[in-house]
Structure 1
Amino acid sequence: MKRAFVFPGQGSQTVGMGKALAAADPVARAIFEEVDDALGEKLSSLMFDGDPETLNLTRNAQPALMAVSVAATRVLLEKLQRPAHQAASFVAGHSLGEYSAFVAAGCLSVGDAARLLRLRGDAMQRAVPVGEGAMAAVLGLDMEAVEAIAAEAGKAGAGHAEAGQADDLVCQVANDNAPGQIVVSGHKGAIERAIDLAAARGAKRSMLLPVSAPFHCSLMAPAARVMADALAQIDLGAPLVPVVPNMTATAVTDPPELRRLLVEQITGRVRWRESVIHMRSAGVDQFVELGAGKVLSGLSRRIDKGASALSLGTLEDIEAFVATTV
């Protein structure tokens, strides 16, 4: 069986994630300690027993989700008694989950990933003043329809000229998650107009997302510049397992290209639907989501009903999986 390891992005975080795994397994515990040391603070205490509002801050949620994903991956590989390249044919992560994928593939250290994600979270939050940006999910329309809505919603004079806005606003497709599940990102006024346009054009539902900044659109350009400088200082090795980046939705193994794609990902589209299709076309039978939540396993089944997909976030999940894996 060909298998892909996939890693969740922001929104999957919950207080308590990873706590039982750390208590039960020293391999997991070591990962959380490594992340704490890299950041110079007890992020694990916030993850295990902290305040949800503080954990949900982008600067905390991003390294925290990576820590849980990497801890679950390391425990799984230890139980399987196999290296990553024998356990998986591909790795892929949704947005920040791409950093978890890089660690799993052996081309980025845990400490570097934690520091980069803390920087990434801070830079993304600073890129757009609070209240100026927004994101919205559009359900029930295809990509062509949503792209047309985004283009119309962002045009100067389309419902925002009265506010003195002379130039076009940003409204772009940020995430292609699954058939009929597309996210748009940009200026708040344009996103609100996109919601109205989507409703008028037959969307099943359109709603603002509870996020603190408009991720994966051109408004994130300042954050991309910060990450370009930071990533230039990082030792990025060749992956032991091919990575399917968000930007290409095809397998990549060249370190300079992977570094460039991590920067472009800040402003670029998360092509998750296409990534799953690519891995399926390459023979992947099973998608194993490692870390918090079950978002990606659900999306995998929506994208391809013939795909096997499951989530491993606890020691019980991992041991049950290992017991049935040859």
Structure 2
Amino acid sequence: MKAYVFPGQGAQFSGMGLDLYESSNQAKQRFEEANSILGFDITKTMFEGSAEDLKQTEITQPAIFLHSVILSQVLGDKFQPDMVAGHSLGEFSALVANGTLSFEDGLKLVHQRALAMQKACEAQASTMAAVLGLDDDVVEEVCSNTEGIVVPANYNCPGQLVISGEVKAVEKACETLKEKGAKRALILPVGGAFHSPLMSPAKEALASAIENTKFSKPQCPIYQNVNAQAVHTPDEIKRNLVEQLTSAVRWTQIMQNMLKDGMTHYTEVGPGKVLQGLMKKIDRRFPTESASI
């Protein structure tokens, strides 16, 4: 069974998508359509902007979405997924790829999500940190016993868990985690506490946008971040997308469930090879590849 997976925030790079734009008329048309939908020239920032330009959440999220989705579309008949998943933002790319969302609706939702998350970030000082070399239950215990808001946010692979929350609470948790034997507990250069209760203000705006968007029956199941399970129904997909903002990304569990359900091919669609690196740490015996035209 062929699984296609889609990266999230952090996979961006200067010049992303330019090769697609220059080599495919279909891709060029899609990128220009995206500029029209968004009302600004995102392709100029993607192709010519600096790494700093691309770090802004309202740019990063639609940029990665566009790279991933347009690549999946120009693959044509080669793109035949039996299952899909996306890391955080990548879940929206996956939903266009499996026919649940149209290109236009997916892009509009991603843009609205990014703006809502950016607003939530600006409302309160917050951050995230990568914790390496500890079992998940140790990190979970430290978070629950730390004063303030700090929670597990991304279960990326065994021994790599990202925590998220208020700045002081995350810093205190990092100190404790180092005392517990973490190889590293490193504050990340991000705009805010994604996948934590501090994203609650963004949920209302996203829920409203999702409720006013058409979701079709998926052509193949999507394994969603919130529950790591294969989901087939539009109503459940919509609920999980809203809950995802304040819930952890259970990527390790998603990959384990895909393997259990018969995954035999693993292809990453989008910028970079972050998800392939995580897969090698989840099950190093399993081969991975990048999608290419």
> Which deviates more from structure 2 when the two are superposed, residues 23-32 or residues 290-299?
23-32
* Structure 2 CA distance for aligned equivalents of residues 58 and 101 of structure 1: 19
1:262-301, Cα deviation, whole Å (9 max, x unpaired) = 0000001100000000000011022100010100011111
Change (3 A) 1:11 1:130: farther
Where 1:108 maps in the other structure, the secondary structure is coil
Kept after mapping to 2: 8 A contact 1:137/1:182? yes
- Is 1:239 equivalent to 2:232 in the alignment? no
- 1:131 CA drift (Å): 6.5
- Is 1:273 equivalent to 2:272 in the alignment? no
Q: 1:113 — aligned with what? A: 106
Q: 2:76 — aligned with what? A: 77
* Structure 2 CA distance for aligned equivalents of residues 106 and 142 of structure 1: 37
1:217-245, Cα deviation, whole Å (9 max, x unpaired) = 11111101110011000001111111111
Q: 1:15 — aligned with what? A: 14
1:1-326 mapped onto 2 (5 Å cutoff): 2-78=1-77, 80=78, 84=79, 87-129=80-122, 132-153=125-146, 155=147, 169-312=148-291, 318-319=292-293
1:251-271, Cα deviation, whole Å (9 max, x unpaired) = 101000001100000001100
* Structure 1 CA distance for aligned equivalents of residues 172 and 67 of structure 2: 37
Q: Superposition RMSD on alpha carbons, in Å?
A: 1.2
1:11-42, Cα deviation, whole Å (9 max, x unpaired) = 00011011011100112222212221210111
* Structure 2 CA distance for aligned equivalents of residues 238 and 106 of structure 1: 7
- TM-score of the pair, normalised by structure 1: 0.87
1:192-228, Cα deviation, whole Å (9 max, x unpaired) = 0111011100001110011001000111111011100
Kept after mapping to 2: 8 A contact 1:130/1:212? no
* Structure 1 CA distance for aligned equivalents of residues 22 and 90 of structure 2: 24
* Structure 1 CA distance for aligned equivalents of residues 218 and 28 of structure 2: 24
Kept after mapping to 2: 8 A contact 1:93/1:245? yes
* Structure 2 CA distance for aligned equivalents of residues 71 and 128 of structure 1: 29
* Structure 1 CA distance for aligned equivalents of residues 106 and 19 of structure 2: 23
Letter in 1 for 2:284: K
Kept after mapping to 2: 8 A contact 1:31/1:70? no
- TM-score of the pair, normalised by structure 2: 0.97
- 1:128 CA drift (Å): 3.6
Identity of aligned residues (%): 41
- 1:56 CA drift (Å): 1.1
* Structure 2 CA distance for aligned equivalents of residues 249 and 124 of structure 1: 22
- 1:51 CA drift (Å): 2.9
